[in-house]
Homo-oligomer: A and B are copies of this chain.
Amino acid sequence: MIEYSERIAAIERHISQWEFPVEPKNLYDPLRYFISIGGKRIRPLFTLLSAELYNIPIKESLPGASALELFHNFTLIHDDIMDKAPVRRGLTTVHEKWDTNIAILSGDVLMIHAFQALSSYHAETFKRLSIMLNQTAIEVCIGQQMDMDFEQIDTVTEADYIEMIRLKTSVLLGCACAFGGIIGGASESSIKSLYEFGENLGIAFQIQDDILDAFGDSAKVGKQVGGDILSDKKTILYTTFQSKATDEDKAEFSRLSTASNDEKITGIKALYEASGVLGYCIKKQQTYQERAMNQLAKVECNQPKQNLFTLAEFITNRSH
């Protein structure tokens, strides 16, 4: 994303120089550590680009953009506890490096700092941004709970799966785009379109993520493909297969589930392709991508939308 490197550098500076209190060290050292690990800073970038549609300089959109990045980091710290994840972005997670209590409390205070990051906006804008962030944050928690609940049940419908990824990840991208519109003083209908652009793009991104985990080029993805298949994760491929496959294919799937790792991955991928599941999911991904682009087309603004179109294309057509 070389086109956006200056903006990402500005976000990085703003986030990494965040003035957390020095003490207590056990509360704030984990945050300094976790935030410096990095990340793609996709959400704040969408806020900056959306605000640019209305000629808003970076320094005015940065506080809103940073609020979302801080909030996102809070969700990662708490999700890592719940998932018992030892590593994030190649480094030890907070609950592993310190302990669970510290990860709970550091996450809590980070969420509050995210809300506090909006304080520089004047009252009307502050209220609109806060209310949208509140609603989005509640939905993200609901999505995380749905994701945890899915682990305990056998069958997840496609509709439930899409609703889960919409809540767990996509609404925050919708919020990021709408933030740009709110800060830019966009019309109600354009704020709504910006939100739906981000939301649909987020769903397309997540479906793409599921597909790449199985069918990506391992050299480009940067990890062995098939991890989701091995862990029987309820991805879009899995749920589609469960609802559409013939009894014969399901029997073969069942046999493969206890096969060796290589046979399981190769066999289930072949089943996904032959049964039309892969094609169906690619089409689904394209549908959400098109919905996103249609919403972006509807946004009324006084600056060109090319940057947002390019970034949207980039993140949904990626091969890794």
Residue interface mask A113-151, B partner, CB < 8 A = 1? 101100100011011001100110110011011101100
**Given A27-B142, A123-B127, A134 and B112 touching (CB < 8 A)?**
yes
Residue in contact with A130 in the complex, picked from B81, B126, B135, B149, CB distance below 8 Å:
B126
A230 to chain B minimum Cβ distance, whole angstroms, is: 23
User: In the complex the two chains form, is B104's CB within 8 Å of A81's CB?
Assistant: yes
Residue interface mask A91-123, B partner, CB < 8 A = 1? 000000000111011011101110110010001
A162 to chain B minimum Cβ distance, whole angstroms, is: 16
A33 to chain B minimum Cβ distance, whole angstroms, is: 15
List of B residues within 8 angstroms of A82 by Cβ: 101, 104-105
**Given A123-B124, A124-B123, A135-B116, A105 and B141 touching (CB < 8 A)?**
yes
Residue in contact with A138 in the complex, picked from B109, B145, B148, CB distance below 8 Å:
B109
12 other A-B residue contacts (CB within 8 Å) besides A27-B142, A82-B104: A24-B142, A26-B145, A26-B148, A81-B104, A101-B148, A105-B148, A108-B141, A112-B137, A116-B134, A119-B131, A123-B124, A123-B127
Binding site for B on A (CB under 8 A): 21, 23-24, 26-27, 78, 81-82, 100-102, 104-105, 107-109, 111-113, 115-116, 119, 123-124, 126-127, 130-131, 134-135, 137-138, 141-142, 144-146, 148-149
**Given A130-B126, A131-B119, A138-B116, A146 and B104 touching (CB < 8 A)?**
no
User: In the complex the two chains form, is B104's CB within 8 Å of A119's CB?
Assistant: no
Q: How far is the CA of A54 from the CA of B101 in the complex (A)?
A: 42
A121 to chain B minimum Cβ distance, whole angstroms, is: 9
**Given A82-B101, A101-B148, A141 and B112 touching (CB < 8 A)?**
yes
Q: How far is the CA of A145 from the CA of B254 in the complex (A)?
A: 49
List of B residues within 8 angstroms of A104 by Cβ: 78, 81-82, 104
A30 to chain B minimum Cβ distance, whole angstroms, is: 10
A14 to chain B minimum Cβ distance, whole angstroms, is: 19
Q: How far is the CA of A78 from the CA of B100 in the complex (A)?
A: 11
Q: How far is the CA of A115 from the CA of B82 in the complex (A)?
A: 24
Q: How far is the CA of A27 from the CA of B81 in the complex (A)?
A: 16
Which of A112, A123, A130 gathers the greatest number of chain B CB atoms within 10 Å?
A112
**Given A26-B149, A108-B111, A123-B127, A142 and B21 touching (CB < 8 A)?**
yes
List of B residues within 8 angstroms of A26 by Cβ: 145, 148-149
Q: How far is the CA of A116 from the CA of B109 in the complex (A)?
A: 17
List of B residues within 8 angstroms of A107 by Cβ: 108
Q: How far is the CA of A193 from the CA of B144 in the complex (A)?
A: 42
